[in-house]
Chains A and B, each alone.
Chain A
Amino acid sequence: MQAPASDELRQFADVVREFATEQVAPHVLALDRTPFNDHDAGADPWQGIYQLGMLGVMLPEACGGLGQGLRALCTVVSTLAEVDASSASFVLVNELSQRLLLAAGEERRLSAMVETATSAREHALAFPAFNDPSDTEILPMATVTDGQWRLNGELESLALGSWANQALIPARILDEDDYSLFLVDLDMEAVTRAQVLTHGLHSLQVSDIQLAGANAVLVGTPGAGAAYFRSAVAPLEIASAAIAGGLTKACLDTALAYASDRHQGGRPIIDWSEVRSLLAGMLTRSATIELSIGLACELFDSGNDVSPQAKAAALFAHELACEVVNDGVQVLGGYGYMKDYGQEKRFRDARQLQTLFGTPSLRKLDLIESLTAIPTRTRSN
């Protein structure tokens, strides 16, 4: 991430960096072993994230957050991602859930939740962040009896689904065109969770859930879920690219250090021009991510909407990150393919990150819709 704009932000970044180095780094391997640990690997580092206020960077102060802008959030997540992209994504999923509640006009409820929470787990809100619910074929059905909403059916890929106590669940209501959002207590008997083994970001503990008449609380207006999602997710697409930026920076640093140290043909491999060429490619991509995200933050924080160009840059950043991590493994050869240097984890995390907030190919197509107002969605004749 580009140098923070203000002294205050710079100091904040230093705090996050120190925290990540001291309190996240020792847990990275265990976090990545999820779900095969015999303990909760996220307990300590994520509690630290919560205590430092990183679970509400953009949340207004009135709701118990830090009330900062997008640049502050991007600084936090990219700095965390230099050590562990899944911890950075943990911050982002929570930010998304909070923004969804805010978009739904649920400030009061959100304030109460933040105020009563005493731990990261109580604070966290699971959400199927790897999908755009509008493009999800199967969603639970919601019915209401005597003012009590109940959810039935299944939902796939709920991020933090096996970890958090509560979730924000998209579900359909009969006769509504679009989905609605509901708050659900995941610990109740009517909810069954099955953990999914994902490509990367393992510690996000993605779950498929079954709901059998689970009590739920409607959030905002029925059928308005998609509108809330679009409004809430826009700046976070840039923040997810900032995670990719932090991850690629660490990947490049690791590759540079290895190439300076490892010898081949009687000299450090960094002296071979083909290795330099790989490293140069990584640098150009990494720098492109960093600079474009910095610019996107500046535009957003000075009051502009997230433009299609900013979203495009964020999507492209993920593609670039996938290329960087591929070369990052390659520079290390066989060692890059093993867990020892962290490159293989970055390889997996970058690709998992690319699917955050929906299928990348579809999100690209939707950009053209936002530029031309011609719908991408196919209309049945």
Chain B
Amino acid sequence: MPTNAHREPAATSVAGDSVPGEATAAPTSFRSTPPRQSRRLVVSRVGDRPDFREHSLGLYRPPGARRGVIRQAEELVALARQFNVEVARPHVLELERATFEDHDFLPHDLVRACNDWGLFSLMIPKMFGGQGYDISAAVYFFEEIATVCPGVATLIGLQGLGTACLMVSGNLRVARRLFDDVLRGEQDGRACMFAVSVTEPNAGTDLQDLDLTGRGQIGCRATKVEGGYLVNGSKVFSSNGHFATWDVLYTCTDPARPVETMVVLAVRAGTEGFTLGRFEDKMGQRLSPASTLNFDNCFVPDDLVILDQAQRRGFSDSSDHDIMTRHFDYWLCMSRVSIAAMAAGAARGAFEAAAAFADETQLRGMPMIDHGWVQSRLAEMYANARLARLAYIDAAGANALSNLMTSKLVFHSQNAMPWKPMRKVLGRLWDHPRTSRLASRMLLDRGLDQRLGAGLGSMAKFAAADLAMKNCQIALELMGSQGTRHEGRVEKLLRDTKLLQIYEGTAQLNRVDTFKSLIAPGYQHGRLFAE
């Protein structure tokens, strides 16, 4: 490792067409036969230090707690710890160094390993053949992975984001098609990943808050033509764009009314008129490329439209703005709580590195960890990591209460039904237009009140990311020059963590969203963006 210093050649996809950047070669030094969930693994890894149960008291009593979520979380923590031991920890530094040496380097081996370990179908519902892990359990997985590498957590987390975007559109027909590709990819060793493209060169925050979107400089647009849409324009900072087989593209037909005319499309890599631009030279999270995607008269057929105005027609009296706000809130709740969990992981990773360093280092005649001031700093870091966890557990709990996708009904039906033997029959059901229409209406027409989940998700994201940054900084100050060495891992954690304050809504925007959802409703005044 690393073996592939350059982008891999285009591969033949499952459908027979060419997909740039798709991983194809046989696994090299990664473990190729990962363990599927087993009780034995759970017992062996959950018991590792730090003790999972001791760390996760909040998991056991959130409002609306489901026992099955605890079991899922235990399985996922065990899996993540095993993955960290066998894949992430031994390889991420070397892989990152390769990205410094050669900017064109992409960690295809790592993608392949994630695929082999089944990490790209973790959150695909069981009714579609996936592993059906609930977001309230998956957050623990993201924390564990991020203790070693937040970049790898993003690489995997984006698949969850794509899955969420598809599910909360209600378009089960398109969702099934894309999920099938992921599952097939796990069978034949050709990773099928999702990217979600929202940000544009001149509109970042504007596209993360629909109250601002109407005032933004939107450049990418779709034009309705017979049989589909023609897309023109660019998207930037699309995480995993260079790995993705499917891009979930957010665009609009009228940039002057971007929310009302918003269109969500599934665009397959290799589609004519869709090209990959550069991927950014980032400070951190370098194992998850942030890509520029260019669309030049790219035709997307109607059967790959995830959500557009035509599908929203006939909903009750909900405005397009309300419908799209619900759609965004549903997936932002899930993605922001996942990032908060990654931040908790980074905070823990910094703490663990600093504590191990202090334990191994002699300072002025005694072990460093015996100095009182060092113990206080470590206690502060421990508290920060734990507070970050509390923040995301709280937000995940709110999600369980107010997000239809994570509701008790969905959870129990996922786990109670024998989905596997029913897949063929269900395929027809998911493909039926009425099914998608019903699901869309249930999710988006009236939906549930999202304020608690959205607000706590935003709050958890900025609070946990700030705590993680604080821990990385304390670790560097404790470790001095040792902390600034690449092999010491802490400096990488700091670089990786900084992105958690920026993507999926900056820390500033998430403060606004927290105010909007949790504070403003209680006061007479408090209009947003009024100044």
Task: Indicate whether A2 reaches chain B with its CB closer than 8 angstroms.
Answer: no
Shortest distance between the CB of B529 and any CB in chain A (Å)? 6
Chain B residue contacts of A355, Cβ below 8 A? 476, 480-481, 483-484
Selected contact of A263 from candidates B217, B366, B478, B512, CB within 8 Å: B217
Shortest distance between the CB of A355 and any CB in chain B (Å)? 5
Chain A residue at minimal CB-CB distance from B203: A264
Could you tell me if B204 and A333 are in contact, using CB atoms closer than 8 angstroms? yes
Q: Write out, one digit per residue, whether chain B residues 360-376 have a CB within 8 A of any chain A CB (1) or not (0).
A: 01111110000101000
Q: Write out, one digit per residue, whether chain A residues 355-381 have a CB within 8 A of any chain B CB (1) or not (0).
A: 100111110010000000000111110
Q: How many residues of B contact A (CB 8 A)?
A: 58
Chain A residue contacts of B236, Cβ below 8 A? 334
Cα A347 to Cα B494 in complex, Å, equals: 10
Q: Write out, one digit per residue, whether chain A residues 302-334 have a CB within 8 A of any chain B CB (1) or not (0).
A: 000000000000000000001000100110011
Could you tell me if A131 and B481 are in contact, using CB atoms closer than 8 angstroms? yes
Could you tell me if A361 and B373 are in contact, using CB atoms closer than 8 angstroms? yes
Chain B residue contacts of A200, Cβ below 8 A? 484
Shortest distance between the CB of B242 and any CB in chain A (Å)? 15
Chain B residue contacts of A5, Cβ below 8 A? none
Chain B residue contacts of A351, Cβ below 8 A? 473, 476, 484, 491, 494
Task: Indicate whether B22 reaches chain A with its CB closer than 8 angstroms.
Answer: no
Could you tell me if A157 and B373 are in contact, using CB atoms closer than 8 angstroms? no
Task: Indicate whether A196 reaches chain B with its CB closer than 8 angstroms.
Answer: yes
Selected contact of A330 from candidates B280, B483, B485, B501, CB within 8 Å: B501
Cα A264 to Cα B100 in complex, Å, equals: 32
Chain A residue contacts of B364, Cβ below 8 A? 135, 376-378
Q: Write out, one digit per residue, whether chain A residues 247-277 have a CB within 8 A of any chain B CB (1) or not (0).
A: 0000000000000000111100000111100
Tell me the A25-70 residues at the B interface (CB within 8 Å): 36
Chain A residue contacts of B281, Cβ below 8 A? 338-340
Cα A333 to Cα B505 in complex, Å, equals: 9
Could you tell me if B212 and A265 are in contact, using CB atoms closer than 8 angstroms? yes
Chain B residue at minimal CB-CB distance from A335: B204
Could you tell me if B282 and A266 are in contact, using CB atoms closer than 8 angstroms? no
Cα A28 to Cα B30 in complex, Å, equals: 37
Task: Indicate whether A354 reaches chain B with its CB closer than 8 angstroms.
Answer: yes
Cα A163 to Cα B275 in complex, Å, equals: 42
Chain A residue contacts of B477, Cβ below 8 A? 354, 359-361
Could you tell me if B365 and A197 are in contact, using CB atoms closer than 8 angstroms? no
Cα A380 to Cα B215 in complex, Å, equals: 67
Task: Indicate whether A348 reaches chain B with its CB closer than 8 angstroms.
Answer: yes
Task: Indicate whether B335 reaches chain A with its CB closer than 8 angstroms.
Answer: no
Could you tell me if A272 and B531 are in contact, using CB atoms closer than 8 angstroms? yes
Chain B residue at minimal CB-CB distance from A200: B484
Could you tell me if B199 and A334 are in contact, using CB atoms closer than 8 angstroms? yes
Task: Indicate whether A337 reaches chain B with its CB closer than 8 angstroms.
Answer: yes
Could you tell me if A347 and B491 are in contact, using CB atoms closer than 8 angstroms? no
Task: Indicate whether B479 reaches chain A with its CB closer than 8 angstroms.
Answer: yes
Could you tell me if A348 and B495 are in contact, using CB atoms closer than 8 angstroms? yes
Shortest distance between the CB of A224 and any CB in chain B (Å)? 19
Task: Indicate whether A344 reaches chain B with its CB closer than 8 angstroms.
Answer: yes
Tell me the B345-384 residues at the A interface (CB within 8 Å): 361-366, 371, 373, 377
Task: Indicate whether A199 reaches chain B with its CB closer than 8 angstroms.
Answer: yes
Task: Indicate whether A352 reaches chain B with its CB closer than 8 angstroms.
Answer: yes
Task: Indicate whether B419 reaches chain A with its CB closer than 8 angstroms.
Answer: no
Chain A residue contacts of B501, Cβ below 8 A? 330
Shortest distance between the CB of A163 and any CB in chain B (Å)? 17
Could you tell me if B362 and A198 are in contact, using CB atoms closer than 8 angstroms? no
Chain B residue at minimal CB-CB distance from A198: B484
Top 6 nearest A-B pairs (CB, nearest first) are A359-B480, A266-B215, A130-B481, A199-B491, A344-B283, A197-B486
Binding site for B on A (CB under 8 A): 36, 130-131, 135, 137, 156-157, 196-200, 263-266, 272-275, 278, 322, 326, 329-330, 333-334, 336-340, 344, 347-348, 351-352, 354-355, 358-362, 365, 376-380
Pick 5 A–B contacts, CB within 8 A, sort by A.
Answer: A199-B494, A329-B283, A354-B476, A355-B481, A362-B480
